[in-house]
Amino acid sequence: MAKLIKSIRGMHDVLPDDSFRWQSFEAIIRQLMAGYGYKEIRMPLVESTDLFCRSIGEVTDIVEKEMYTFEDRNGDKLTLRPEGTASCVRAGIQNGLLHNQVQRLWYSGPMFRHERPQKGRYRQFHQFGAEVYGIETPDIDAELILIGARLWKQLGLTGVRLELNTLGSNQARIKYKQVLVDYLKQHEDQLDEDSLRRLDTNPLRVLDSKNPAMREMLDNAPALIDYLDEESAQQFDKLKVCLDAVGVEYTINLRLVRGLDYYCKTVFEWVTDELGAQGTICAGGRYDGLVEQLGGKSTPAIGFALGMERILSLLESQQQQQPETIDIYLVLLGEASELRGLQLAEEIREQQPDVKMIVHCGGGSLKSQMKKADKSGAEIALILAEDELKNEQVAVKYLRQKKEQITVSFDELIKFITNIG
């Protein structure tokens, strides 16, 4: 027997019984974003490696060890996108969408990171993200947070908390970095290998460490908030006032620094206790410097991205999603019925495009067809056999309700179907 080829570790199929859950989630996102006046942008899955090195930062988990990078046939260095923000900024600059304009954008699709696969952490995973360009005031920070809050509400998710912090201006961070490095050097014996390496290159990232052995030492480290510049402090206060005004609860988490280099000022994460170590379902923040850093004109920017698998898994554990349904299974007995059935089915589809109907194909006995009708999840079976055909009617059998079988004439069928929906 030929050797089986399997999918790549950490990359999964979405199987037919599951795809409906994705579609429902995506439909809610689409409607929500349209409601807030955001437009969808679709970027390529592959970009120049440079784009990610220059935006995400050389000394980050993603660029240091997670990117799928390869040379194409021309010898160009390419990378499967590990996130959407860099591509979105690249597309915005390239197409003249950013300078002196306000853009409210969203995207969704697969991202690739070579991580250790585990529940909630995959090598191909999906993000939905929103990005806003051209607004520097924190009212827009609040809007993005509200979109998150409304999404959880519409999905029926509970137990999701908002954590908030500010990273201040670039200057404030430079000042703070020195203080932090001094403190970390005093505790060098407690730093793990990653942190030691980052001490010189990206000390802020040490705060982001998930190593429990360093937790207490990091909790006692000087806090960035004490070194904040006036403007960032004011903006942070304004954001809190906005969130208070609309009743969005949050906790300030001074250790929240986000893993990517480009963030400044507002950073936030939506977290849950129900997914173990993979508890962050959505993360975002301001990145005012990135557009200029990638060659565009200086443009304020803020966005978030959420992990779709993590949210779907949360929805599943909270049993928040309905299974996919079928309205009708059309049972056809005998060759003449098969032909008439085909015509009837097309008439129904013409008049009622929303009806979900499976037409039985492949013949077989009434019993075997009814078995398939039941398995399909259909609400009703329409049965067309010799007798029904002669009388120009179909038998209607209710598969999910205790109701008597009835007959409906061909003429009345469309009207009948309209009423079952």
Chain contacts with ligand ATP (rule: CB under 6 A): 83, 113, 115, 120-122, 125, 127, 259, 278, 280-283, 305-307, 309-310
Smaller CB distance to ligand ATP: residue 8 or 339?
8
How far apart are alpha carbons 381 and 383 in whole angstroms?
6
Element (H, E) at 369: helix 366-376
**Shortest Å distance, C-beta 138 to ligand ATP:** 20
Smaller CB distance to ligand ATP: residue 129 or 138?
129
**Shortest Å distance, C-beta 189 to ligand ATP:** 26
**Shortest Å distance, C-beta 283 to ligand ATP:** 4
How far apart are alpha carbons 67 and 75 in whole angstroms?
17
**Shortest Å distance, C-beta 146 to ligand ATP:** 18
Cβ burial 34-58 (10 Å sphere, 16+ → b, else e) = eeeebeebebeebbebebbbbbbbe
Smaller CB distance to ligand ATP: residue 68 or 410?
68
Greatest Cα-to-Cα distance within the chain, rounded to the nearest angstrom: 93
| DSSP per-residue string spanning 27-79 | HHHHHHHHHTT-EE----SEEEHHHHHHHH-TTSHIIIII-EEEE-TT--EEE
**Shortest Å distance, C-beta 316 to ligand ATP:** 15
Name the residue number minimizing CB distance to ligand ATP: 307
**Shortest Å distance, C-beta 282 to ligand ATP:** 6
**Shortest Å distance, C-beta 150 to ligand ATP:** 18
**Shortest Å distance, C-beta 274 to ligand ATP:** 13
Instruction: Please list, in sequence order, all residues whose beta carbon lies within 8 angstroms of the beta carbon of residue 410, skipping any fewer than 6 positions away.
Output: 344, 392, 393, 394
Whether residue 260 contacts residue 62, with contact meaning beta carbons closer than 8 Å, is answered with yes
Strands, E assignment, 208-333: 251-252, 264-271, 280-286, 301-307, 326-332
How far apart are alpha carbons 60 and 262 in whole angstroms?
11
Smaller CB distance to ligand ATP: residue 304 or 329?
304
Smaller CB distance to ligand ATP: residue 207 or 332?
207
Smaller CB distance to ligand ATP: residue 252 or 277?
277
Smaller CB distance to ligand ATP: residue 269 or 388?
269
DSSP assignment, residue 204?
A: G
Q: How far is CA 1 from CA 4, 7, 24, in A?
A: 9, 19, 40
Angle between helical axes of 85-94 and 49-56 (0-180°, round to 10): 110
Smaller CB distance to ligand ATP: residue 309 or 388?
309
